[in-house]
Protein backbone atom coordinates (compact mmCIF):
# COMPACT_ATOMS: atom_id res chain seq x y z
CA UNK A 1 0.00 0.00 0.00
CA UNK A 2 2.80 2.44 0.87
CA UNK A 3 4.69 1.68 -2.36
CA UNK A 4 1.59 2.33 -4.43
CA UNK A 5 0.92 5.50 -2.48
CA UNK A 6 4.44 6.76 -3.22
CA UNK A 7 3.79 6.19 -6.91
CA UNK A 8 0.83 8.55 -6.66
CA UNK A 9 -2.01 6.04 -6.61
CA UNK A 10 -5.24 7.22 -5.04
CA UNK A 11 -6.74 5.45 -2.05
CA UNK A 12 -9.55 4.02 -4.16
CA UNK A 13 -7.14 2.67 -6.77
CA UNK A 14 -4.92 1.14 -4.06
CA UNK A 15 -7.99 -0.57 -2.60
CA UNK A 16 -8.81 -2.03 -6.04
CA UNK A 17 -5.19 -3.21 -6.55
CA UNK A 18 -4.82 -4.97 -3.18
CA UNK A 19 -8.46 -6.13 -2.92
CA UNK A 20 -9.67 -4.48 0.23
CA UNK A 21 -11.89 -1.63 1.38
CA UNK A 22 -10.87 2.01 1.05
CA UNK A 23 -11.16 2.50 4.83
CA UNK A 24 -8.73 -0.38 5.34
CA UNK A 25 -6.16 1.34 3.12
CA UNK A 26 -6.70 4.65 4.91
CA UNK A 27 -6.28 3.00 8.35
CA UNK A 28 -3.07 1.18 7.46
CA UNK A 29 -1.46 4.22 5.84
CA UNK A 30 -2.37 6.35 8.87
CA UNK A 31 -0.92 3.81 11.30
CA UNK A 32 2.43 3.50 9.50
CA UNK A 33 4.84 0.61 9.89
CA UNK A 34 4.20 -3.10 9.45
CA UNK A 35 0.82 -4.25 10.81
CA UNK A 36 0.99 -6.73 13.69
CA UNK A 37 -1.65 -9.25 14.77
CA UNK A 38 -3.25 -8.50 18.10
CA UNK A 39 -5.11 -11.27 19.90
CA UNK A 40 -8.63 -10.41 20.90
CA UNK A 41 -9.51 -10.54 24.58
CA UNK A 42 -10.84 -13.98 25.41
CA UNK A 43 -14.49 -14.07 26.37
CA UNK A 44 -15.28 -15.50 29.79
CA UNK A 45 -16.94 -18.93 29.70
CA UNK A 46 -20.36 -19.47 31.21
CA UNK A 47 -18.88 -22.11 33.50
CA UNK A 48 -16.11 -19.87 34.87
CA UNK A 49 -18.04 -18.49 37.91
CA UNK A 50 -18.81 -22.06 39.05
CA UNK A 51 -15.39 -23.70 38.61
CA UNK A 52 -14.35 -23.11 42.22
CA UNK A 53 -17.62 -24.61 43.48
CA UNK A 54 -17.17 -27.68 41.25
CA UNK A 55 -13.60 -28.26 42.42
CA UNK A 56 -14.65 -27.94 46.07
CA UNK A 57 -17.55 -30.38 45.65
CA UNK A 58 -15.32 -33.02 44.06
CA UNK A 59 -12.58 -32.44 46.64
CA UNK A 60 -15.01 -33.03 49.53
CA UNK A 61 -16.36 -36.15 47.82
CA UNK A 62 -12.89 -37.65 47.12
CA UNK A 63 -12.19 -40.57 46.68
CA UNK A 64 -15.83 -40.84 45.62
CA UNK A 65 -17.11 -39.06 42.51
CA UNK A 66 -20.12 -36.79 41.90
CA UNK A 67 -21.47 -37.21 38.34
CA UNK A 68 -21.80 -34.27 35.97
CA UNK A 69 -25.59 -34.66 35.86
CA UNK A 70 -25.84 -34.06 39.62
CA UNK A 71 -23.55 -31.04 39.53
CA UNK A 72 -25.45 -29.64 36.54
CA UNK A 73 -28.63 -29.63 38.64
CA UNK A 74 -26.81 -27.94 41.53
CA UNK A 75 -25.19 -25.12 39.53
CA UNK A 76 -28.33 -24.82 37.40
CA UNK A 77 -30.10 -23.68 40.55
CA UNK A 78 -27.32 -21.12 41.05
CA UNK A 79 -27.75 -19.57 37.60
CA UNK A 80 -25.64 -21.70 35.25
CA UNK A 81 -27.08 -21.59 31.71
CA UNK A 82 -24.36 -23.42 29.80
CA UNK A 83 -24.39 -26.90 28.29
CA UNK A 84 -23.26 -30.31 29.53
CA UNK A 85 -20.33 -30.59 27.09
CA UNK A 86 -18.23 -27.86 28.67
CA UNK A 87 -19.16 -29.10 32.15
CA UNK A 88 -18.01 -32.65 31.33
CA UNK A 89 -14.86 -31.32 29.66
CA UNK A 90 -14.02 -29.35 32.80
CA UNK A 91 -14.67 -32.33 35.14
CA UNK A 92 -12.83 -34.91 33.04
CA UNK A 93 -9.30 -34.08 34.30
CA UNK A 94 -10.55 -34.09 37.91
CA UNK A 95 -11.83 -37.65 37.81
CA UNK A 96 -9.55 -40.51 38.91
CA UNK A 97 -8.91 -43.14 36.26
CA UNK A 98 -10.95 -46.34 36.65
CA UNK A 99 -10.28 -49.77 35.16
CA UNK A 100 -12.74 -51.02 32.58
CA UNK A 101 -14.67 -54.06 33.81
CA UNK A 102 -17.36 -55.02 31.29
CA UNK A 103 -20.40 -56.91 32.58
CA UNK A 104 -22.73 -58.98 30.40
CA UNK A 105 -26.37 -58.29 31.36
CA UNK A 106 -29.48 -60.38 30.78
CA UNK A 107 -33.08 -59.24 30.44
CA UNK A 108 -36.16 -60.64 32.18
CA UNK A 109 -39.85 -60.58 31.32
CA UNK A 110 -42.23 -58.08 33.00
CA UNK A 111 -43.11 -59.14 36.55
CA UNK A 112 -40.64 -62.02 36.51
CA UNK A 113 -37.79 -60.84 38.75
CA UNK A 114 -36.72 -58.27 41.29
CA UNK A 115 -33.16 -57.99 42.57
CA UNK A 116 -32.51 -57.12 46.23
CA UNK A 117 -29.40 -56.01 48.07
CA UNK A 118 -28.15 -54.32 51.25
CA UNK A 119 -25.81 -51.32 51.05
CA UNK A 120 -23.76 -50.51 54.13
CA UNK A 121 -23.04 -46.81 54.60
CA UNK A 122 -21.93 -46.53 58.25
CA UNK A 123 -20.92 -48.92 61.02
CA UNK A 124 -20.35 -48.41 64.72
CA UNK A 125 -22.68 -46.78 67.23
CA UNK A 126 -24.66 -44.90 64.59
CA UNK A 127 -25.06 -47.42 61.74
CA UNK A 128 -26.85 -46.68 58.49
CA UNK A 129 -27.86 -49.18 55.81
CA UNK A 130 -29.98 -49.06 52.69
CA UNK A 131 -32.34 -51.73 51.40
CA UNK A 132 -32.31 -51.52 47.58
CA UNK A 133 -34.76 -53.29 45.27
CA UNK A 134 -34.78 -53.05 41.45
CA UNK A 135 -37.31 -54.64 39.09
CA UNK A 136 -35.58 -56.53 36.31
CA UNK A 137 -37.75 -55.39 33.42
CA UNK A 138 -38.58 -51.75 34.14
CA UNK A 139 -35.46 -50.96 36.26
CA UNK A 140 -37.78 -49.09 38.64
CA UNK A 141 -36.18 -49.02 42.10
CA UNK A 142 -37.07 -48.51 45.74
CA UNK A 143 -34.72 -47.57 48.60
CA UNK A 144 -35.34 -47.79 52.34
CA UNK A 145 -32.74 -46.50 54.83
CA UNK A 146 -32.60 -48.41 58.14
CA UNK A 147 -30.37 -48.76 61.18
CA UNK A 148 -30.10 -52.57 61.27
CA UNK A 149 -30.30 -55.57 58.90
CA UNK A 150 -32.36 -57.98 61.00
CA UNK A 151 -34.82 -60.33 59.33
CA UNK A 152 -37.90 -58.47 60.63
CA UNK A 153 -36.45 -55.22 59.24
CA UNK A 154 -35.78 -56.99 55.95
CA UNK A 155 -39.39 -58.18 55.73
CA UNK A 156 -40.73 -54.72 56.55
CA UNK A 157 -38.55 -53.28 53.77
CA UNK A 158 -39.96 -55.89 51.36
CA UNK A 159 -43.48 -54.81 52.24
CA UNK A 160 -42.62 -51.14 51.66
CA UNK A 161 -41.03 -51.96 48.30
CA UNK A 162 -43.97 -54.12 47.15
CA UNK A 163 -46.39 -51.29 47.90
CA UNK A 164 -44.17 -48.58 46.37
CA UNK A 165 -43.58 -50.49 43.12
CA UNK A 166 -47.13 -51.77 42.82
CA UNK A 167 -46.95 -55.55 43.33
CA UNK A 168 -45.01 -58.75 43.97
CA UNK A 169 -42.85 -60.35 41.22
CA UNK A 170 -42.60 -64.10 40.77
CA UNK A 171 -38.92 -64.36 41.79
CA UNK A 172 -36.61 -62.36 44.06
CA UNK A 173 -32.86 -62.59 43.55
CA UNK A 174 -30.46 -62.30 46.52
CA UNK A 175 -26.80 -62.82 47.26
CA UNK A 176 -25.66 -64.82 50.31
CA UNK A 177 -27.03 -62.45 52.98
CA UNK A 178 -27.38 -64.19 56.36
CA UNK A 179 -30.93 -62.92 56.86
CA UNK A 180 -31.92 -65.09 53.85
CA UNK A 181 -29.71 -68.17 53.68
CA UNK A 182 -27.64 -69.69 56.50
CA UNK A 183 -26.00 -72.54 54.57
CA UNK A 184 -25.99 -73.47 50.89
CA UNK A 185 -26.46 -76.91 49.35
CA UNK A 186 -27.03 -78.66 52.69
CA UNK A 187 -29.09 -81.52 51.28
CA UNK A 188 -27.63 -81.36 47.77
CA UNK A 189 -27.32 -78.83 44.95
CA UNK A 190 -29.98 -76.15 45.35
CA UNK A 191 -31.20 -77.41 48.74
CA UNK A 192 -30.27 -74.57 51.08
CA UNK A 193 -30.92 -73.93 54.77
CA UNK A 194 -32.77 -70.63 54.98
CA UNK A 195 -33.20 -68.24 57.87
CA UNK A 196 -36.08 -69.17 60.13
CA UNK A 197 -39.24 -67.34 59.13
CA UNK A 198 -38.25 -65.90 55.75
CA UNK A 199 -39.42 -68.86 53.59
CA UNK A 200 -42.82 -68.59 55.32
CA UNK A 201 -42.96 -64.93 54.35
CA UNK A 202 -42.00 -65.79 50.75
CA UNK A 203 -44.80 -68.39 50.52
CA UNK A 204 -47.22 -65.92 52.11
CA UNK A 205 -46.44 -63.31 49.42
CA UNK A 206 -46.14 -65.78 46.54
CA UNK A 207 -42.56 -65.25 45.35
CA UNK A 208 -39.70 -67.70 44.92
CA UNK A 209 -36.27 -67.22 46.50
CA UNK A 210 -33.39 -67.25 44.01
CA UNK A 211 -29.73 -67.03 45.06
CA UNK A 212 -26.70 -65.75 43.17
CA UNK A 213 -23.81 -68.04 42.47
CA UNK A 214 -21.25 -68.04 45.31
CA UNK A 215 -18.69 -65.23 45.05
CA UNK A 216 -20.58 -63.86 42.04
CA UNK A 217 -22.74 -61.00 43.32
CA UNK A 218 -22.78 -59.52 39.81
CA UNK A 219 -25.38 -62.11 38.89
CA UNK A 220 -27.72 -59.45 40.26
CA UNK A 221 -26.05 -56.79 38.15
CA UNK A 222 -29.12 -54.57 37.78
CA UNK A 223 -29.37 -53.75 41.49
CA UNK A 224 -25.56 -53.62 41.81
CA UNK A 225 -25.47 -51.01 39.04
CA UNK A 226 -28.26 -49.10 40.77
CA UNK A 227 -26.30 -49.22 44.04
CA UNK A 228 -23.44 -47.40 42.34
CA UNK A 229 -25.86 -44.88 40.86
CA UNK A 230 -27.42 -44.36 44.30
CA UNK A 231 -23.99 -43.82 45.86
CA UNK A 232 -22.68 -41.31 43.33
CA UNK A 233 -25.86 -39.50 42.33
CA UNK A 234 -27.63 -39.35 45.69
CA UNK A 235 -25.65 -40.36 48.77
CA UNK A 236 -22.26 -38.72 48.12
CA UNK A 237 -23.76 -35.36 47.01
CA UNK A 238 -26.13 -35.31 50.00
CA UNK A 239 -23.50 -36.31 52.57
CA UNK A 240 -20.94 -33.82 51.28
CA UNK A 241 -23.51 -31.04 51.28
CA UNK A 242 -24.51 -31.87 54.87
CA UNK A 243 -20.84 -32.16 55.81
CA UNK A 244 -20.15 -28.68 54.49
CA UNK A 245 -23.05 -27.48 56.67
CA UNK A 246 -21.69 -29.37 59.70
CA UNK A 247 -24.64 -31.84 59.83
CA UNK A 248 -24.52 -35.66 60.02
CA UNK A 249 -27.03 -37.56 57.95
CA UNK A 250 -29.56 -39.65 59.92
CA UNK A 251 -32.10 -42.24 58.81
CA UNK A 252 -35.05 -39.81 58.84
CA UNK A 253 -33.30 -37.27 56.62
CA UNK A 254 -32.01 -40.00 54.30
CA UNK A 255 -35.48 -41.51 53.77
CA UNK A 256 -37.11 -38.13 53.19
CA UNK A 257 -34.49 -37.13 50.64
CA UNK A 258 -34.32 -40.49 48.85
CA UNK A 259 -38.09 -40.62 48.30
CA UNK A 260 -37.96 -37.25 46.57
CA UNK A 261 -34.87 -38.29 44.59
CA UNK A 262 -36.51 -41.52 43.39
CA UNK A 263 -39.60 -39.63 42.28
CA UNK A 264 -38.01 -36.68 40.49
CA UNK A 265 -34.65 -38.11 39.37
CA UNK A 266 -33.93 -41.85 39.49
CA UNK A 267 -37.17 -43.36 38.19
CA UNK A 268 -37.79 -40.66 35.57
CA UNK A 269 -34.30 -40.57 34.04
CA UNK A 270 -33.58 -42.26 30.71
CA UNK A 271 -31.94 -45.55 31.65
CA UNK A 272 -28.62 -46.22 29.94
CA UNK A 273 -29.46 -49.83 28.97
CA UNK A 274 -33.16 -49.70 28.10
CA UNK A 275 -33.07 -46.11 26.77
CA UNK A 276 -36.47 -45.63 28.41
CA UNK A 277 -37.66 -44.13 31.67
CA UNK A 278 -38.16 -46.71 34.47
CA UNK A 279 -41.40 -45.03 35.59
CA UNK A 280 -42.90 -45.48 32.10
CA UNK A 281 -41.84 -49.14 31.84
CA UNK A 282 -43.18 -49.72 35.37
CA UNK A 283 -46.71 -48.92 34.12
CA UNK A 284 -46.41 -51.87 31.74
CA UNK A 285 -44.77 -54.16 34.32
CA UNK A 286 -47.39 -53.56 37.03
CA UNK A 287 -49.95 -55.45 34.95
CA UNK A 288 -47.79 -58.59 35.43
CA UNK A 289 -47.15 -58.24 39.18
CA UNK A 290 -49.06 -60.11 41.89
CA UNK A 291 -51.19 -58.31 44.45
CA UNK A 292 -49.54 -57.37 47.76
CA UNK A 293 -50.99 -59.51 50.60
CA UNK A 294 -51.32 -57.95 54.08
CA UNK A 295 -48.65 -58.87 56.60
CA UNK A 296 -49.00 -58.82 60.38
CA UNK A 297 -45.36 -58.06 60.95
CA UNK A 298 -44.83 -60.95 63.43
CA UNK A 299 -42.72 -63.80 62.10
CA UNK A 300 -43.40 -66.11 65.06
CA UNK A 301 -47.17 -65.57 64.83
CA UNK A 302 -47.15 -66.21 61.09
CA UNK A 303 -45.68 -69.71 61.46
CA UNK A 304 -47.93 -72.62 62.47
CA UNK A 305 -47.21 -73.75 66.02
CA UNK A 306 -48.29 -76.92 67.88
CA UNK A 307 -51.08 -76.66 70.48
CA UNK A 308 -49.85 -75.67 73.89
CA UNK A 309 -49.58 -78.62 76.32
CA UNK A 310 -49.87 -78.21 80.12
CA UNK A 311 -46.51 -78.44 81.78
CA UNK A 312 -46.56 -80.77 84.82
CA UNK A 313 -45.16 -79.36 88.01
CA UNK A 314 -44.28 -81.07 91.32
CA UNK A 315 -46.38 -80.10 94.39
CA UNK A 316 -45.12 -80.09 97.97
CA UNK A 317 -45.84 -83.21 100.07
CA UNK A 318 -48.12 -81.33 102.49
CA UNK A 319 -50.28 -80.10 99.63
CA UNK A 320 -50.52 -83.56 98.11
CA UNK A 321 -51.57 -85.04 101.51
CA UNK A 322 -54.22 -82.36 101.99
CA UNK A 323 -55.67 -82.99 98.52
CA UNK A 324 -55.77 -86.75 99.12
CA UNK A 325 -57.52 -86.42 102.54
CA UNK A 326 -61.25 -87.30 102.53
CA UNK A 327 -63.61 -84.35 102.41
CA UNK A 328 -65.80 -84.16 105.59
CA UNK A 329 -69.54 -84.59 105.12
CA UNK A 330 -71.73 -81.48 105.45
CA UNK A 331 -74.12 -81.62 108.48
CA UNK A 332 -77.86 -81.44 107.81
CA UNK A 333 -79.62 -78.04 107.76
CA UNK A 334 -81.54 -78.84 111.01
CA UNK A 335 -78.34 -78.53 113.00
CA UNK A 336 -77.87 -74.94 111.73
CA UNK A 337 -81.49 -74.09 112.60
CA UNK A 338 -81.01 -75.28 116.22
CA UNK A 339 -77.82 -73.20 116.62
CA UNK A 340 -79.61 -70.12 115.25
CA UNK A 341 -82.53 -70.58 117.73
CA UNK A 342 -80.15 -70.84 120.72
CA UNK A 343 -78.34 -67.69 119.57
CA UNK A 344 -81.63 -65.73 119.48
CA UNK A 345 -82.57 -66.92 123.04
CA UNK A 346 -79.22 -65.72 124.41
CA UNK A 347 -79.66 -62.28 122.86
CA UNK A 348 -83.20 -62.05 124.28
pLDDT score of 245? 82
Query: Would the pLDDT of 305 be above 50?
Result: no
* CA 222/CA 105 separation, integer angstroms: 8
Q: What is the pLDDT of residue 330?
A: 58
- Mean pLDDT across 190-195: 78
Of 21-25, 274-278, 300-304, give the lowest mean pLDDT range. Answer: 300-304
Cα angle, residue 137 at apex, residues 297 and 290 outer, rounded to 5°: 40
Q: What number is the average pLDDT over the span 80-109?
A: 76
Q: What is the pLDDT of residues 317-336, one digit of tens each?
A: 666 666 676 655 656 666 66
Q: How far is CA 251 from CA 52, 58, 273, in A?
A: 31, 24, 31
Q: What is the mean pLDDT of the chain?
A: 82
| 43 has pLDDT over 60 | yes
Could you give phi then psi for residue 210, rounded to 5 degrees? -120, 135
Strand partners, 144: 131
Distance of CA 143 to the CA centre of its chain: 4
Question: How much is the pLDDT for 311?
Answer: 44
Reported as a pLDDT band with limits 50, 70 and 90, residue 182 is: confident
Q: What is the pLDDT of residue 307?
A: 44
Predicted pLDDT at 302: 43
How does pLDDT run across 98-107, given as a tens digit for each residue?
555 455 556 7
Average pLDDT of the segment spanning 116-142:
91
H runs (alpha helix) in the chain: 2-6, 11-18, 22-31, 51-61, 68-76, 84-91, 151-165, 198-205, 221-230, 236-244, 251-264, 278-286, 299-302, 317-324, 333-347
User: Which letter, b or e, does each residue of 242-274 get, where b requires 16 or more Cβ atoms within 10 Å of its Cβ?
Assistant: beeeeeebebeebbebbeebbeeebbeeebeee
Closest CA to 258 of 283, 282, 234: 234
Instruction: Band the pLDDT of 218: cuts 50, 70, 90.
Output: low
pLDDT for 206 equals 92
Amino acid sequence: MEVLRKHGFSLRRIAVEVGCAVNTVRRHLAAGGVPRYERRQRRERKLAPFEGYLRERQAVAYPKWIPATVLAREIGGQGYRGGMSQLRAFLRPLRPAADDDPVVRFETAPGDQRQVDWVEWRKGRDPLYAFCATLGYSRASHVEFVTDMRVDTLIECHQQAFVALGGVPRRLLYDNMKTIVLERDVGGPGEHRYHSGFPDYARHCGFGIQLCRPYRARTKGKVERFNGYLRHSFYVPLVTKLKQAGVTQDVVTANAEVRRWLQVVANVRTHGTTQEKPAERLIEERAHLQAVPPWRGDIAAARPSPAAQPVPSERPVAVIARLEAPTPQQPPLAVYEQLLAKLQEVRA
